[in-house]
Structure 1
Amino acid sequence: MAAALDRIRVGSAPDSWGVWFPDDPHQVPWERFLDEVAEAGYSWIEMGPYGYLPTDPARLTDEVDRRGLKVSAGTVFCGLHRGPAAWDAVREQVGRVASLTQAMGARHLVVIPSFWRDDKTAEILEPPELTREQWAHLTEGMARLGREVRDTYGLDIVVHPHADTHLDTEEHVERFLDATDPDLVSLCLDTGHYAYCGGDSVRLIETYGERIGYLHLKQVDPAVLADVREQGLPFGPAVRRGVMCEPPGGVPALEPVLAAAQRLGVDLFAIVEQDMYPCAPDRPLPIAVRTRRFLRSCGA
């Protein structure tokens, strides 16, 4: 029997139900997501894209409470590398999400850098590499955001490296961590995105453990990933090809990742995210049930 991972709090997210947008005809209704995530055996959820779940705190509290659920975090995308000109738009977006996150009793705000390549159309929106000035804007902007979110809402930001953003590879992630204040900026390590971009999650946890504030659990199919890399596909089409797969069938192996996280000796959320947009409405629940069973077999 696996050792108990008593510092790891497992949850899931709308992403595992094929939800990428606040409103989309390809997505399951939010009521069905809440019903099924509870049925699958999870007690913690992320809120997903702002506007997918109800944004009235009283109503959302009622909906999650009666299903025995609790909220772990909210999520925002932002382009802080664009410098001070982007700050007002970022602050407005963050304010909406952080306010609801705080009202739901959560303590984390997952911050994802904006895409340099459109995940639907594959249009190149910006160069994939930042200039030195843009790196400074990104790191200084995240520190400012971390301070404001903490002081205003009592939340910790956890920055999420993500495919087709400027924060993706081991080199970029380490550069970002080395340039940011650990008191203000922690990392949301997404095991699938990090593997997608060539990173080693266990090594990152062992090297920068004090910076790991949150986990997303995800695996990639190595065979599909090899094709994606060979063809230079954007992330959206790669997901439609099944690059993110059901554990334990992909990489990285989650048992050593969870064990390394447990050794940090701090409480961490580990939120399951299996990108499946778009997907048939009956597909997510059986996968979620099997994934929860697998994580229990790992001790989580």
Structure 2
Amino acid sequence: MTAAPSPAAAAHRIRIGSAPDSWGVWFPDDPCQVPWQRFLDEVSEAGYEWIELGPYGYLPTDPARLADETARRGLAVSAGTVFTALHRGPAVWEDTWRQVGKVAALTRAMGARHLVVIPSFWRDDRTAEPIESPELTAAQWRDLATGMERLGREVRDEFGLRIVVHPHADTHIDTEENVTRFLDATDPDLVALCLDTGHYAYCGGDSVRLIQTYGERLGYLHLKQVDPEVLAAVVREGLPFGPAVRRGVMCEPPGGVPALEPVLSAARELDVDLFAIVEQDMYPCPPDRPLPIARRTRRFLRGCGA
């Protein structure tokens, strides 16, 4: 287990962190990405004390080594991340659990308590080609809800972790309609929400309204913004998410939407402990670009009282 962050950081109800995503990391191994050592060095240098694991295999998967590498940089882990395709029914459970088990074990070993669960894309994440329908049938919605509840129960019972489901562009949990349908169909005791402000805005949602309406479901935050002008072109042209990111749809705050001050204010009104992890999608990006953005973003968030 890693060393705990400073008492001052622990005193905040909202704990700010960052993630490999903000360094252009989408895959366990890719020549377009910075080495993991550089990510750890720079995220600490930028003033963050919390990180996510990112794609399994990007950071060391040996808990002792990862604990040493993070602790000596003053970092601790807030969550691991998994992708699931539970709308495909019970046939995918074994493969899903095999993947989840590896990530959950490392997450627990690092002292974290959350597992971020992202639904599978209906487009290929490298080629952007459609691989299934963007709309779920009623039966698939039932499989998604019951599968996610099972995942929440088994992750809790086996690893002591809480799953937080992350609505995401180019998945079946994306728009306000689909997010609220999913939340209404799942047990609050088993399934919480990871609200990503950028993805929700990308898909037309209002983060503040979602927090005010479903605040009891909020278990985790991802902070990012979208450039409204780029987003308008993305919508007009029907671009997939990957090409949209390469065009710069996710932008540095405070240059985009939603405004993060009202989001953080609404989250504070819940009076619960939350992680708020900065995640600015920038894949691929020049290796020298992330650190200056990360520093400016941390200063901006301090100005928001976070």
TM range (shorter): over 0.9
1:260 Cα deviation (Å)?
0.2
Aligned 1:263-274 pairs, distance under 5 A: 263-274=269-280
Match of 2:162 among 148, 152, 156: 156
Could you tell me which runs of 5 or more consecutive residues in structure 2 were left unpaired when the two chains were aligned: 1-10
1:69 alignment partner in structure 2: 75
Match of 1:88 among 83, 91, 94: 94
1:122 Cα deviation (Å)?
1.9
Contact 1:11–1:43 at 8 Å: present in 2 too? yes
Aligned 1:108-187 pairs, distance under 5 A: 108-187=114-193
1:8 Cα deviation (Å)?
0.6
**Residue type of the alignment partner of 1:91:** W
1:100 alignment partner in structure 2: 106
1:118 Cα deviation (Å)?
1.6
Could you tell me which runs of 5 or more consecutive residues in structure 1 were left unpaired when the two chains were aligned: none
2:27 alignment partner in structure 1: 21
1:125 Cα deviation (Å)?
0.5
- 1:53 aligned onto 2:52: no
In structure 1, distance between residues paired with 2:236 and 2:190 = 38
Give SS of 1:21's match: coil
Q: How many residues align?
A: 296
In structure 2, distance between residues paired with 1:70 and 1:209 = 26
Contact 1:119–1:237 at 8 Å: present in 2 too? no
1:288 alignment partner in structure 2: 294
In structure 1, distance between residues paired with 2:38 and 2:112 = 22
In structure 1, distance between residues paired with 2:132 and 2:220 = 28
In structure 1, distance between residues paired with 2:133 and 2:120 = 12
- 1:196 aligned onto 2:202: yes
- 1:233 aligned onto 2:239: yes
Give SS of 1:187's match: strand
After superposition, give the CA deviation of every residue in 1:251-295 in whole Å (9 maximum; x if it has no partner): 000000000000000000000000000000000000000000000
- 1:205 aligned onto 2:211: yes
- Over the matched positions of the two proteins, sequence identity in percent amounts to 81
1:6 Cα deviation (Å)?
3.2
In structure 2, distance between residues paired with 1:276 and 1:19 = 8
1:120 Cα deviation (Å)?
2.5
After superposition, give the CA deviation of every residue in 1:194-238 in whole Å (9 maximum; x if it has no partner): 000000000000000000000000000000000000000000000
TM-score (norm 2): 0.96
In structure 1, distance between residues paired with 2:110 and 2:65 = 11
1:218 alignment partner in structure 2: 224
Give SS of 1:134's match: helix
TM-score (norm 1): 0.98
2:18 alignment partner in structure 1: 12
Name segments (4+ residues, structure 1) moved above 2 Å.
none
Match of 1:297 among 291, 296, 303: 303
2:5 alignment partner in structure 1: none
**Residue type of the alignment partner of 2:207:** S
**Residue type of the alignment partner of 1:31:** Q
After superposition, give the CA deviation of every residue in 1:117-174 in whole Å (9 maximum; x if it has no partner): 1232121100000000000000000000000000000000000000000000000000
1:258 alignment partner in structure 2: 264
Higher RCO, 1 or 2 (CA under 8 Å, sep at least 6)?
Answer: 1
